[in-house]
Amino acid sequence: MRPAGLTQRLDIAARHLLPVLFTLFLLLVSLLPLKLPGLAGIMPPLALMGVFYWGVYRPDLLNGLSAFVIGIAQDLLFGLPIGVSALVMLLVHGFAQTRRRSFLSHGFLVVWVGFALAAAGASLLTWILVSVLAGTATNPNPAFTQFVLTVLTYPLFARLMGLAHQTLLKEE
């Protein structure tokens, strides 16, 4: 068997980075200034979708350390207290990974319900942590609206990640 050439090794490395890069891309998309009034405060946490999706389907390529780093990046980019998103991402990744077998043995509807549970926990925990660290209870309405939008848009983003995943599987 011939040893892999440099370009082949780079190609393999790039494909293995796909889940992390895709999730970072989703994080950056969350920052786009959309011209819809009030959307900035309730924009779905797209990176959370990526961490959950890849935690179910490819936890070997987006591991806990990657989820943590993505969370720190989200904290820095969104002006959240450092560590809030990192903790939430780690917990969502852990939930997705530990329930992985159950999710994979059922259809998309079960995965979607699992994501809804993870997103509810993530929204609640983020709201609690931000409120505690701010020293005052923040308005929960934007967090609830964001949760609803997140759950409703998950199928679209899961489909996009599914297409990327299929490309990854074809190459393997």
The whole-number pLDDT of residue 172 equals 59
Name the phi and psi angles at 20, rounded to 5: -70, -45
How confident is the prediction along the chain (172 residues), in pLDDT tens digits per residue? Answer: 455 688 777 777 767 789 999 999 999 998 887 666 665 667 889 999 999 999 999 999 999 999 999 999 999 999 999 999 999 999 999 999 999 999 999 999 999 999 999 999 999 999 999 999 988 888 899 889 999 999 999 999 999 999 988 877 766 5
Calpha distance 146→130 (Å, rounded): 15
Which three-class secondary structure state does DSSP give residue 83? coil
The whole-number pLDDT of residue 45 equals 92
Calpha distance 102→55 (Å, rounded): 13
Calpha distance 86→59 (Å, rounded): 17
The whole-angstrom distance between residue 141's C-alpha and the CA centroid of its chain comes to 22
Burial of 91 (0-12, 13-18, 19+ CB in 10 A): middle
Calpha distance 81→89 (Å, rounded): 14
CB 76 within 8 Å of CB 82: yes
The whole-number pLDDT of residue 1 equals 46
- pLDDT tens string 55-85: 999 999 999 999 999 999 999 999 999 999 9
Which three-class secondary structure state does DSSP give residue 172? coil
Name the phi and psi angles at 61, rounded to 5: -105, -20
What's the predicted TM-score (pTM) here? 0.90
Q: Helix H segments across the chain?
A: 6-30, 46-57, 64-78, 84-98, 100-104, 108-134, 140-171
Calpha distance 75→31 (Å, rounded): 12
